[in-house]
Amino acid sequence: MNQNLTFTIFGGTGDLTFRKLLPALYNMCVSGRLGADDRIVIIGRRSYSDDDYRAIARDWVSKFSRLPYTEEDFAGFASRIHYYQMDFSDKEAYEGLNRYYQEHQLYSHIFYFAVAPRFFGIIVEGLTGVDGAENGKVIIEKPFGENLAAADALNQKMEAFFSPDHIYRIDHYLGKEMVRNIQTIRFTNPIFSNLWSAEHIECIQISALEDVGVETRGGYYDSSGALKDMVQNHLFQILSIVAMEQPEQFSGSEMHAEQIKVLRSLRPVKAKNIKDSLLLGQYEGYLEEKNVDPNSTTETYAALRLFVENKRWKNMPFYIRTGKKLGHREMDVAIVFRRSSPEIAPNILNIKIQPTEGVYLQFNIKNPGDTDEIVQTKMDFCQSCLDIFRINTPEAYERMLDACMQGERSWFSQWDQIETSWKFIENIRKVYYKQNLPVYPYTPETNGPTEADEFLNHYNHEWFE
């Protein structure tokens, strides 16, 4: 039997496919990480020939690929792409897809559901009509359902068809270079690993600040909000990597086992503590965004103060901040060490995830000259400033597709992580809204609600760049 691999992308004419998946597959193809006979089958409703679709793909790939675009490389890549027109919500249509696979002898599958989660179940039902589909792998995008109950129902449906270890749930933050670097920085440097606890660290701050608004995704975002869109998945993944105990190995189940322990140790937020644990905001102008309810109270900003209840992190706050339409784009993890005395700035280890990738360590020195003044300086490693690193670093989606092909599961979300995070976030959100706490308005292009400054009152901006 022909063992060539077929990537079938449902939602092949959507933004995700054009911006991320095709450029990632192109990079994989150019760098020899696709087998000679591997195929890409694009599923879409529109009527395109293979050549029509390849011409559209060319524009996107030339714009978004990491590796240089050349006509010759693209021709080699494009010859693998086939367009198959069908309505994936029509169960009958899968008979035709099955025939197509048979005719082309495509038996070894990776299915990519690049569609809204409400279609996942329909596609799984349809695939029951495709011979051997249940032996394939499936990659699904977040959000996994709109809430815990929906995510649970969806998961059951998926696991009833695909083997659980063939389900790859993407959290693209796990594919980011500096997120993958956290464990190396932490565990291979005794100067950090020996100090990695509440005894020596004052607080840890995880920030994901975005300058963009909801753009074309108002409908989806309005039913989601910052907590579900960013915190429950991406930022909790990062939190669990930063706070976990060292796993025996960094691959597969050992790492997941440590990460899930952290999530399960998050101190539940009670009604009386909610004001100290969560603050929500909404940018001015959000209510006028397309497909947003004009009376919406959905948060576009969230700041959280959380505790991990174990010996290592006893009573040390983890701050998480995320928001849209802020003054600048920045994602980082700041480890703020305990100070030698209250009036002296802390040492800070800052792991910069994007847009700049790198790491810096801030410390105190005497201001040079005839003075005893103490000032802060830093040792700074800017990884993304060097072209050689930039071009050699696969992008998140490329990494995830490659990992799925290799059966490497450690950098995907597991169901138990998703379930635990959903429970925590749903609870904290419910408590906040039940108490009618304000969703504070904020002016676009600022740091978010001014009330958040007080909430994050340990956070002295002068100490950070």
- Binding-site residues, in ranges, read 45, 87-88, 142, 172, 176, 210, 229, 324
Query: What residues from 163 to 182 belong to the interface with ligand BG6 (CB under 6 A)?
Result: 172
Catalytic residue among 82, 166, 200, 234: 234
Whole-number Å distance between alpha carbons of 85 and 208: 38
To the nearest whole angstrom, how small is the minimum distance from the Cβ of residue 210 to ligand BG6?
A: 6
Taking the complex as a whole, how short is the minimal distance between the CB of residue 144 and ligand BG6, in angstroms? 12
Active-site residue flag, 458: no
Which amino acid is present at 236?
A: F
Among 177, 210, 332, 398, binds ligand BG6 (CB under 6 A): 210
- Rounded CA-CA distance 281/454 in Å is 14
**CB of 71 vs ligand BG6, minimal distance in Å:** 29
Count residues contacting ligand BG6 (CB under 6 A)? 4
Residue whose entry in the numeric block shows the structure tokens 């993407």: 170
Closer of 16 and 243 to ligand BG6 (Cβ): 16
Residues in the chain: 465
Question: What are the backbone angles phi and psi of residue 136, rounded to the nearest 5°?
Answer: -80, 180
What distance in Å separates the CA atoms of residue 281 and residue 304, rounded to the nearest whole number?
12
Min dist CB 214 to ligand BG6, Å, is 7
Q: Dihedral, CA atoms, 195, 197, 202, 203, nearest 10 degrees?
A: 120
In this structure, what token pair is assigned to residue 307?
């505790």
Find the shortest distance in angstroms from Cβ 132 to ligand BG6: 32
Nearer to ligand BG6, 320 or 431 (CB): 320
Residue showing the smallest CB distance to ligand BG6 in the complex: 229
Distance, in Å, from the CA atom of 239 to the CA atom of 206, rounded to the nearest integer, reads: 7
| Type and span of the H or E element at 198 | none
Name the residue nearer to ligand BG6 (CB basis): 172 or 186.
172
Q: Which residues pair with 82 in a beta bridge?
A: 41
Residue stretches of the annotated binding site for NADP(+): 45, 87-88, 142
Distance CA 286, CA 129 (A): 43
What are the φ/ψ torsions at residue 149 (nearest 5 degrees)?
-60, -45
Least distance (Å) between residue 229 CB and ligand BG6? 5
**Nearer Cβ to ligand BG6 (38/210):** 210
Query: Cβ contacts of residue 6 below 8 Å, gap of 6+?
Result: 38, 39, 40, 41, 101, 106, 107, 108, 109, 110
Residue closer to ligand BG6 by CB (options 114, 331) is 331
**Residue type at position 154:** L
Integer-rounded Cα radius of gyration of the chain: 24
Measured from the CB atom, the residue of 16 and 431 that comes closer to ligand BG6 is 16
Per CB under 6 A, does 38 bind ligand BG6? no
Q: How far is the CB of 138 from ligand BG6 (least distance, A)?
A: 19
Residue 229 is a binding residue for ligand BG6 (CB under 6 A): yes
Task: Sheet containing 278-283: give its strands across.
Answer: 374-382, 358-366, 348-354, 330-337, 201-209, 318-323, 301-306, 278-283, 439-442
- Separation between Cα atoms, residue 212 and residue 324, nearest integer Å: 6
Binding to ligand BG6 by CB under 6 A, coded x per residue (else -) over 314-343, reads -----------------x------------
Provide the 3-class DSSP secondary structure of residue 165: helix
3-state secondary structure of 317: coil
Angle, alpha carbons 144-231-304 (nearest 5°): 150
Q: 10 or 221: whose CB is closer to ligand BG6?
A: 221
Two structure tokens written together for 27: 């990079």
**Applying CB under 6 A, which residues contact ligand BG6?**
172, 210, 229, 331
Catalytic residues: 234
